Amino acid sequence: MKLAFSTLGVPGLPISDVVRLAASHGYHGVELRTHPEEPVHTGLDLTARAEVAAEFKTAGVEILGLAGYARVAAPGDDEPVLAEIRDLLLLARDLGAPFIRVFPGGDSGPTTPGQDPGQSAEEADATAARRLGTAAEYAADLGVRILLETHDSHRTGADAIRVLGPVGHRQAGALWDVMHTWLGGEQPSASFAALSPFLGYVQVKDIASADDTTPLALGAGVLPLTECVDVLSREGWDGWLCWEYEKRWYESAAPLEGLLSAGHNYLSQLLNEAA
């Protein structure tokens, strides 16, 4: 398996520094948080896109994927969501990234009496499947794969396949966030069994507890990382493990830069033991 980290852990860091950190700490790739407050976003012109791609290529570091924020199960019109996905797919094509990340973002709506109940879970599933099915056709033309992250309204593997199963398109896959499947009460073996036909890559992280999701160094918390790696190795899965250290949302968290070497060593050890 190859190892990567997400720029969510180093918010706003210039691309040259991101590439340097990856290369100097032994990571094969980087997941780029794609947002206007970051160096890489869909507003970049072609010259800037070429420069980003060249920096990574020169360093021998891969751009694993673009972590976007389109919410495919959210209520509302399809076109704004599809336009956001198309822009992200074009950026991925230009940067040479094989994957983009989207969120479910389903909203069951308010439950206060007298308020609009919003959409049902079944409606959210259908909305997400419809949008992903449409976007997957566009993704196929560009050679990029759309990954639905286990997150928010669809945090388990069982939730995600309610969407991905009906889509039935190779370019629509899954991104397994091990924290969210664990918070959803799903065992790693069950998550893998559900997601394996669709799996693009796996996001690893660690936290203190279900009530305190402040990011910790890998191995310092409660998430079943050993079990996840064991399952992946046992099943012969040979993809990417990406460390998503959510420093952007937790100012009190230790800087990622000082943890990267230990994190690489920890994951390497897990992989060696599983093998």
pLDDT of the chain along its 275 residues, tens only? Answer: 999 999 999 999 999 999 999 999 999 999 999 999 999 999 999 999 999 999 999 999 999 999 999 999 999 999 999 999 999 999 999 999 999 999 999 974 433 344 345 689 999 999 999 999 999 999 999 999 999 999 999 999 999 999 999 999 999 999 999 999 999 999 999 999 999 999 999 999 999 999 999 999 999 999 999 999 999 999 999 999 999 999 999 999 999 999 999 999 999 999 999 98
The CATH code for residues 2-109+118-274 is 3.20.20.150
Sequence spans of domains, the chain: 2-109+118-274
List helix spans (H) across the chain. 15-25, 46-59, 78-95, 121-142, 157-167, 178-183, 188-195, 225-234, 260-274
Sign of CA dihedral 130, 133, 139, 145: positive
Instruction: Report the alpha-carbon distance of residue 57 to residue 35 in Å, rounded.
Output: 22
With tokens 């590439």, the residue in question is 19
